């Protein structure tokens, strides 16, 4: 079956612009989580969506937002870009319910954002 697809894979923006990243989860997965990965801060949790509702949120400013559609696809948006937003943004999907297998995460390859 198809894996988690993230688009675009690479993008370059300038300070002050905004960006939208897309994530298509594995078919049947209802949970989508987003992470920011940088050399200095490591892997940091942004937010998680389950059945179109934000269920969990990390410690990021309001410039970072997301949403999930009825087909479980998710987008995240970063407004007013700053140099420090340059990072690899990873999306992961999972079944998302309770139980032992619910939170086995399958990651996409990531979207690498460079802010100039």
Partner 1 sequence: AQSVTQLGSHVSVSEGALVLLRCNYSSSVPPYLFWYVQYPNQGLQLLLKYTTGATLVKGINGFEAEFKKSETSFHLTKPSAHMSDAAEYFCAVSDQSGGYQKVTFGTGTKLQVIP
Q: Which residues bind partner 1 (CB under 8 A)?
A: 4, 33, 35, 42-43, 45, 50, 55-56, 90, 92, 94, 96-110
Closer of 12 and 43 to partner 1 (Cβ): 43
Angstrom distance (rounded) from CA 44 to CA 51: 22
Closer of 11 and 105 to partner 1 (Cβ): 105
| Residue 16 CB, nearest approach to partner 1 (Å) | 28
Angstrom distance (rounded) from CA 14 to CA 109: 23
| Residue 102 CB, nearest approach to partner 1 (Å) | 5
How many CB atoms neighbour CB 73 within 10 A?
15
């Amino acid at each position: 079956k198809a894996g988690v697809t993230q688009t675009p894979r690479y993008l370059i923006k300038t300070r002050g612009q905004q960006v939208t990243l897309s994530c298509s989860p594995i078919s049947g997965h209802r949970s989508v989580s987003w992470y920011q990965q940088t050399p200095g801060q490591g892997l940091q949790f942004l937010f998680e969506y389950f059945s179109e509702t934000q269920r969990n949120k990390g410690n990021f400013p309001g410039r970072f937002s997301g949403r999930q559609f009825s087909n479980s696809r998710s987008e995240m948006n970063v407004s007013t870009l700053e140099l420090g937003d340059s990072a690899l943004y990873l999306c992961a999907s999972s079944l998302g319910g309770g139980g032992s297998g619910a939170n086995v995460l399958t990651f996409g390859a990531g979207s690498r954002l460079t802010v100039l």
